[in-house]
Chain A
Amino acid sequence: MSIAIDTRSVSSRKPSLLLDELLLDQRVLRTPVVEISEHSGGRFSHLIPLTKPSPGEQYAFDVNLDACTGCKACVVACHTMNGLDENESWRDVFSITDTSSNLTQTITKACHHCEDPACANGCPVLAYEKDETTGIVRHLDDQCIGCSYCMMKCPYDVPKWNVKKGIVRKCDMCQSRLSAGEAPACVQSCPNEAIRIRVVKKDADVGVLFPGAFDRSYTQPTSVYHTKRKDLPSGTDQKSEAQHHGPLAWMLVLTQLSVGGILFGKHPLACALLGALGVAISTLHLGQPLKAWRAFLGWRKSWLSREILAFGAYVPLAGLSVIDPRATPLALAAGIVSVICSIMVYVDTRRPQWRWQVTVPRFAATTLVMVLPWMLVGPLAALLVWERHRFFTR
């Protein structure tokens, strides 16, 4: 095939004119020709209950495992429909695989809106609220001080840390959508209708949540997972490690050394300073330190709140004991209570790596280190901080 093109004659039309026209046209947007519906309306209303829960009932996620194929549309829909940050979603999909058999099961999971929510019980500032009618466990983002203790308390890895905002955020079952008769983001996004909202009875005995999930007696999660499969693989739920634990490692070691110092009659000023330094460092792990003054609010249920209160008493008493040795027994008592609270903060998470058999010896040993002369305490303290890092990450 021969192609003979007379370029001179054709390029009489200046290319730059076309270029300008095309660059300009690229800036012109096409406006919608038709009115576009913005909301789902009642499209997915068959996936949510028609009525509000009666007393003794609450809303819960109902997951049909047989319909979940692991496409993860729910994860991204949660991200988009709630306007979350770039990598943030309150829903996770993971799979449990039994390597000995041939079985894999994908599991979609958001907040289980527990009857006895560990997150709320652990929160030192009452940044969680369990709605009396719906049972939805809502997180108050503006109340949160970013201590991330709820992330350690929740055995299902539900509260998510938001680095940018310095707070935790979590699923609220798209409360505002539900109250408007609209399905939550994950519910309406599932191509296979694997997720629904339904009303469940409280205190219902429904067995394990899903294979490998944490013992439900701790928080009484309300989600219902069902399957026709008789051979679900066993597996484990993933748990993320504690967030930014560096300051906490220092805090624990320094305050425990401080209390041990008082116990073994070390120089009161050194002890008071160690304690004060430890408490000061602990605030570095807060995302919203200016709001931390509310930390007393949760004392009825939260060991973290109690720990903060105890240290709040211990540090001034330790200081007082420098001036007046008569305060020393009081300071020692407050110190021991503080260390016990520290122990309980971790034991109360019920995570195996922080069970009392692990935590008590470590924290007690740190306190007892002060029986040694100062020249040995220094290097040992460094070792202890390193060990405490491992305590958080193992």
Chain B
Amino acid sequence: MSLQLREWDGPLTRDLVRHPPKVLGKAVCGFCSTGCGLKLHENGVVTPDLDYTVNQGTACPKGWEALSVLDAPDRATVPLHHGKPVSWAEAMSIFTTKMREVGPENAAFISTGQIMTEEMALLGAVAKFGMGILHGDGNTRQCMATAVAAYKESFGFDAPPFTYADFEQSDVLVFVGANPCIAHPILWQRVLNNKRNPKIVVIDPRTTETAAAATMHLRLRPKSDLALFYGLAHQIIQLGGTDKAFVQASTSGYEQMREHVQAYDLDRTSSETDIAMSDIRMLARWIVEGTPRVSFWWTMGVNQGHQATRTAQSIINLALMTGNIGKPGTGANSITGQCNAMGSRLFSNTTNLLGGHDFTNPIHREKVARATGIPLERIPTRPSLAYDQILQEVEEGRIKALWIIATNPAHSWIQQGRFQKLASKLEFLVVQDMYHSTETARMAHLLLPAAAWGEKEGTFINSERRHGYSMKVRRPPGQALSDFSIFRLVAESWGCGDLFREWSSPAEVFKILQRCSADQPCDITSIQGYEQLIREGGVQWPPGQGKERRLFEDGKFFTPDRKARFVVADPQPPIETPDDAYPLVLLTGRGSSAQWHTETRTGKSQVLSKLHPSELILTLHPSDAGHIVDGQKVLVQSRRGSIKATAQLRTTVRRGEAFLPMHNPQVNQLTLEVVDPISRQPSYKHCTVRVTAESTVGVVSSGRSGV
């Protein structure tokens, strides 16, 4: 005990660590697709990389906490067979024996956008070329499949055209179903960096944080986007906003599009979307006046819908008809979700053959066989079934074994009750994850403990097509192995290890993938290994001059005739519409910037957990509340399930609508399994519910007129 009157210094004062400890390495963040550069320090400290082009020295809360979430008591440290620890040798023997018993033709794998490109490529190769599993899909089906399908058909290749600099160079930015303030805070930083005093338009049924910061917010009726964008196209044509020279030289199908949108006059558009005619007209004028610096940005509000692909294409149409593509500050731009969704799209060997190739194309198969050294006859001649179709096969008993890697469908798959029932039919469920506690891991017959981001190396591809490198700076707990090593073990154990001798390290696989990409739009053959990625702060595909680049500057697309396509369709009503029994439309989405998907990682950080409400909050419009008061406990019921929540009465949702954050494990008990028929991406953002006070049985009145 000190006898000084005032202690200015001492152990408690020195307890603060004002200078982050030594830097061990750098990595591209493993949460979202923004792809921020992070510095990884000793003692689990992370700081943003000042030198990285993407984030320029800042990060969102998840990035700051990226390492601390790895220290958790529920990390998987040894393989578990029905919950009992087994050795890796036993685990592999069980894996191989059970998979052979079931037969690879009756097995499937579910990959992820959360592991390294090299890892997902090895998984796809071992499973399909080595083991003979035909069907595998990724959780990217839940977030990005729509953008893929739309781009492929419209541009001839899955090619998001933009670079983040376009945020800064645009005069009109139109965000559709996107809330970057919360979902991609570092991209919003780039928007605010825009010195051109841009008009920011948000098209979203909810008054999100981004909508609140926008110049104009169009609160459209959920899933009425097609009518809105056709109406806008019609207005733009009337205003003479078509870039005739560009349309003539670089597109096809304009005339059909023009005829199609004739029917969407202001009256119809306004009545189908609930948006005032004056607002539609004003946005059309802004687009015309802002050309050629108008950019369109969309994310899950578009990608998750019953007509999602056509909706994305209706946005692409606007960019094409006005020539807002291939120039600074333009583009029809899909902001990706997961850190490596783009890697999954190009290199997971699920829907596409490695390198964005086509399984059904014999020339592509031969090329990939040559590039990988895999015998041609081992390359399947058809693509995998989509996620929902794989689950359908499980339900119908044709697929009996499922191998799930780094994703948590027992929480995240739409209409959870159905998933849980069908998963219980599986003869063999293997889950490969860094935690043994996820909803899906707890159902596993065999759990394979995986090393996490920071404990392994490899590359991600971000939203703007940037390959970035992540370093291995920490050791995983126990016997956890990188997913890469686990796939090698599986290959060895299955007896096909010799096929993958060259696939001995992530760096070697990167070289193989480079060869696979040759002459594709995503050609990365000129990248000089990981060293160049580290040195230059990532490289966008296809590599070119400068730190940032966009596609289609020459007006040439990847279709056979090098012309982009206009694609249109007739709007259909959502499958489930409000009625007397279920009068409200339920929207789901991201809750806060501190939460990531099913919260298997972010839920481990105490400081992140402080940043959002601990209870499940249902946002409800005051006019729909009836006797329910703000803060009251309520039951939210759909035809599929019933969950409890706390009501928050806000006009940030429209009358007749309600919102729940997707991170809560129960929310998908309510959602309805509807998928876009083209992209097969689930529609998480439209089902109907009723809300009642927990203690009473009265039904909340519908606030919606005309439905």
Interface residues of A (CB under 8 A from B): 1-3, 5-8, 10-11, 13, 15-16, 18-19, 22-23, 25-27, 29-34, 36-41, 43-44, 66-67, 69-73, 75-77, 79-84, 86-89, 93, 97, 99, 101-104, 106, 126, 140-144, 165, 167, 174, 176-177, 188-193, 290-291, 294, 297
| A contact residues around B58 at 8 Å (CB) | 73, 188-191
> Which of B6-14, B141-149, B159-167 is near enough to bind chain A?
B6-14
Interface residue? B471 (CB, 8 A): yes
A127's nearest neighbour on chain B, judged by CB, is B6
CB distance from A160 to the nearest CB of B (A): 11
| B contact residues around A191 at 8 Å (CB) | 55, 58, 60, 185-186, 188-189, 192
The residue that A99 contacts in the complex, of B378, B493, B594, B649, with Cβ under 8 A, is B649
B535 and A82 contact, CB distance less than 8 A: no
Interface residue? B498 (CB, 8 A): yes
A7's nearest neighbour on chain B, judged by CB, is B495
The 10 A-B pairs with the shortest beta carbon distances in the complex, nearest first, are A83-B17, A142-B10, A3-B132, A7-B495, A191-B189, A87-B606, A69-B181, A71-B185, A142-B7, A141-B12
A144's nearest neighbour on chain B, judged by CB, is B12
Interface residue? B355 (CB, 8 A): no
B594's nearest neighbour on chain A, judged by CB, is A72
Interface residue? B282 (CB, 8 A): no
B18 and A13 contact, CB distance less than 8 A: no
Distance of A7 Cα from B622 Cα, bound (Å): 66
Please judge, given known A-B contacts A32-B23, A83-B18, whether A1 and B132 are in contact too, CB under 8 Å.
yes
A-B contacts, CB under 8 A, total:
246
Interface residue? B509 (CB, 8 A): no
Q: Could you pull out 15 A-B pairs where Cβ atoms are within 8 angstroms? A: A3-B104, A11-B493, A11-B495, A19-B88, A32-B471, A33-B531, A38-B22, A75-B611, A76-B64, A80-B65, A82-B18, A102-B207, A104-B212, A140-B13, A141-B12
B64 and A29 contact, CB distance less than 8 A: no
Interface residue? B61 (CB, 8 A): yes
Known contacts A1-B378, A76-B61, then 17 further A-B pairs from the complex at CB < 8 Å, ordered by chain A residue:
A1-B381, A3-B378, A10-B497, A11-B495, A15-B89, A23-B479, A32-B471, A37-B50, A67-B192, A73-B58, A75-B610, A76-B607, A80-B45, A88-B607, A101-B651, A142-B9, A188-B58
The residue that B485 contacts in the complex, of A26, A43, A70, with Cβ under 8 A, is A26
B479's nearest neighbour on chain A, judged by CB, is A23
CB distance from A236 to the nearest CB of B (A): 14
The residue that B1 contacts in the complex, of A76, A167, A290, with Cβ under 8 A, is A290
Interface residue? B119 (CB, 8 A): no
B44's nearest neighbour on chain A, judged by CB, is A80
CB distance from B403 to the nearest CB of A (A): 16
Of the candidates B7, B213, B472, B482, the one having the most CB atoms from chain A within 10 angstroms of its own CB is B7
Please judge, given known A-B contacts A71-B593, A97-B650, whether A87 and B607 are in contact too, CB under 8 Å.
yes
CB distance from A75 to the nearest CB of B (A): 6
Interface residue? B467 (CB, 8 A): no
B50 and A40 contact, CB distance less than 8 A: yes
Q: Per-residue 0/1 for B485-507: is the Cβ within 8 Å of any A Cβ (1 yes, 0 no)?
A: 10011001111111000000000
Interface residues of B in 37-83 (CB under 8 A from A): 39, 45-48, 50-51, 55, 57-61, 64-65, 68
B18 and A174 contact, CB distance less than 8 A: yes
Interface residues of B in 648-675 (CB under 8 A from A): 649-652
| A contact residues around B26 at 8 Å (CB) | 32, 36
| B contact residues around A84 at 8 Å (CB) | 16
CB distance from B691 to the nearest CB of A (A): 17
| B contact residues around A39 at 8 Å (CB) | 19
CB distance from A143 to the nearest CB of B (A): 5
A18 and B497 contact, CB distance less than 8 A: yes
| B contact residues around A101 at 8 Å (CB) | 651
CB distance from B369 to the nearest CB of A (A): 13
| A contact residues around B455 at 8 Å (CB) | 26
Distance of A2 Cα from B375 Cα, bound (Å): 12
B57 and A26 contact, CB distance less than 8 A: no
B89 and A1 contact, CB distance less than 8 A: no
Interface residues of B in 450-479 (CB under 8 A from A): 451, 455-457, 471-476, 479
The residue that A189 contacts in the complex, of B39, B59, B212, with Cβ under 8 A, is B59
B25 and A32 contact, CB distance less than 8 A: yes
| B contact residues around A190 at 8 Å (CB) | 58
CB distance from A181 to the nearest CB of B (A): 14
| Number of chain B residues whose Cβ lies closer than 8 Å to a Cβ of chain A | 105
Distance of A66 Cα from B207 Cα, bound (Å): 16
| A contact residues around B185 at 8 Å (CB) | 69, 71, 73, 191
The residue that B492 contacts in the complex, of A13, A82, A141, with Cβ under 8 A, is A13
Distance of A81 Cα from B476 Cα, bound (Å): 24
Of the candidates A32, A75, A294, the one having the most CB atoms from chain B within 10 angstroms of its own CB is A32
| A contact residues around B59 at 8 Å (CB) | 73, 189
A143 and B381 contact, CB distance less than 8 A: no
Interface residue? B131 (CB, 8 A): yes
The residue that A83 contacts in the complex, of B16, B131, B181, with Cβ under 8 A, is B16
The residue that A19 contacts in the complex, of B2, B89, B622, with Cβ under 8 A, is B89
B88 and A13 contact, CB distance less than 8 A: no
The residue that B210 contacts in the complex, of A27, A69, A167, with Cβ under 8 A, is A69
CB distance from A294 to the nearest CB of B (A): 7
A15 and B489 contact, CB distance less than 8 A: yes
CB distance from B493 to the nearest CB of A (A): 6
B59's nearest neighbour on chain A, judged by CB, is A73
Interface residue? B534 (CB, 8 A): yes
A189 and B48 contact, CB distance less than 8 A: yes
A99 and B473 contact, CB distance less than 8 A: no
B15 and A165 contact, CB distance less than 8 A: yes
B192 and A142 contact, CB distance less than 8 A: no
The residue that B651 contacts in the complex, of A6, A102, A140, with Cβ under 8 A, is A102
Interface residue? B561 (CB, 8 A): no
| A contact residues around B495 at 8 Å (CB) | 5-8, 10-11
| B contact residues around A99 at 8 Å (CB) | 622, 630, 649-651
A36 and B594 contact, CB distance less than 8 A: no
B18 and A81 contact, CB distance less than 8 A: yes
B43's nearest neighbour on chain A, judged by CB, is A83
The residue that A86 contacts in the complex, of B188, B489, B606, with Cβ under 8 A, is B606
Interface residue? B353 (CB, 8 A): no
A176 and B11 contact, CB distance less than 8 A: no
Q: Per-residue 0/1 for B296-311: is the Cβ within 8 Å of any A Cβ (1 yes, 0 no)?
A: 0000000000000000
B489 and A29 contact, CB distance less than 8 A: no
B481 and A36 contact, CB distance less than 8 A: no
B534 and A30 contact, CB distance less than 8 A: no
CB distance from A293 to the nearest CB of B (A): 9
B1 and A34 contact, CB distance less than 8 A: no
CB distance from B165 to the nearest CB of A (A): 16
Distance of A294 Cα from B607 Cα, bound (Å): 34
Please judge, given known A-B contacts A191-B188, A294-B5, whether A26 and B451 are in contact too, CB under 8 Å.
yes
| A contact residues around B13 at 8 Å (CB) | 140-142
Distance of A119 Cα from B481 Cα, bound (Å): 51
The residue that B39 contacts in the complex, of A7, A36, A79, with Cβ under 8 A, is A36
| A contact residues around B1 at 8 Å (CB) | 290-291
| B contact residues around A76 at 8 Å (CB) | 61, 64-65, 594, 607-608, 611
B209 and A70 contact, CB distance less than 8 A: yes
| A contact residues around B182 at 8 Å (CB) | 69-71
Distance of A167 Cα from B10 Cα, bound (Å): 13
| B contact residues around A72 at 8 Å (CB) | 61, 592-594, 611
Distance of A165 Cα from B14 Cα, bound (Å): 13
Q: Per-residue 0/1 for B245-260: is the Cβ within 8 Å of any A Cβ (1 yes, 0 no)?
A: 0000000000000000
A38's nearest neighbour on chain B, judged by CB, is B23
| A contact residues around B18 at 8 Å (CB) | 81-83, 174, 176-177
The residue that A26 contacts in the complex, of B134, B475, B630, with Cβ under 8 A, is B475
CB distance from B554 to the nearest CB of A (A): 33
CB distance from B594 to the nearest CB of A (A): 6
Interface residue? B262 (CB, 8 A): no
Interface residue? B263 (CB, 8 A): no
Distance of A140 Cα from B494 Cα, bound (Å): 63
| A contact residues around B17 at 8 Å (CB) | 82-83
